[in-house]
Amino acid sequence: MSRIGKKPVPIPDNVKVNVAGRTVTVESGKNKLSFTHRPEVAVRYDAASKSALVTRADDERLSRALHGLTRAMIANMVEGVTKGYTKELEIVGVGWTAKIQGTKIALSIGYADTREVEIPAGVKVEVDAKTNRVKVTGADKQAVGQFAAEVRRQRPPEPYNGKGIKYLGEHIVRKAGKAFAGGAAG
């Protein structure tokens, strides 16, 4: 039995959960997320204990895998609509900048052209020009992480000079560059 899957997902008072068929909808205030689970598992909302329960029909390998996954997805949705998720990126490089232009973020990161990445719906992006940091926030954990990864992919940090776009607090293993030989070649 899945240790994570059999735990009920506690639902705070300010969150509304609706289970209609295979679609689970979680909303709080202006945030609303929905998820369609696989038919191998079943989700029910227990209003008395204010919790969502995930069960599976059989002990097949796929069912066992989806049991914990579905419970984790619902728990992430509840946390997303109440607290939200944040990822911070840091741009390291002389003269490298980021700025928001409409629904895109424009990155000047050492290439001849400016790289633009489309900001998805439900994701909010803030750019701090002084510290060269990009803050990505939103209720959907997957959308926040995916957008942060797409921005980082435009110029991943390189190990020699440490330049690039990295997550805040990410440690880049640095390498020594070419060293001069001790003796004459001959």
How far is Cα 21 from Cα 109, in angstroms, rounded to an integer? 47
Instruction: Indicate if the pLDDT at residue 136 is higher than 60.
Output: yes
Instruction: Indicate if the pLDDT at residue 186 is higher than 80.
Output: no
- Which residue has tokens 């909010």? 124
CB 151 within 8 A of CB 142: no
Which domains are seen in the chain, by residue range? 9-82 (3.90.930.12), 85-167 (3.90.930.12)
Instruction: Indicate if the pLDDT at residue 140 is higher than 90.
Output: yes
SS3 content of the chain, % helix, strand, coil (to 5): 20, 35, 45
Give the tens place of pLDDT for each residue, 98-134.
Answer: 999 999 999 999 999 999 999 999 999 999 989 999 9
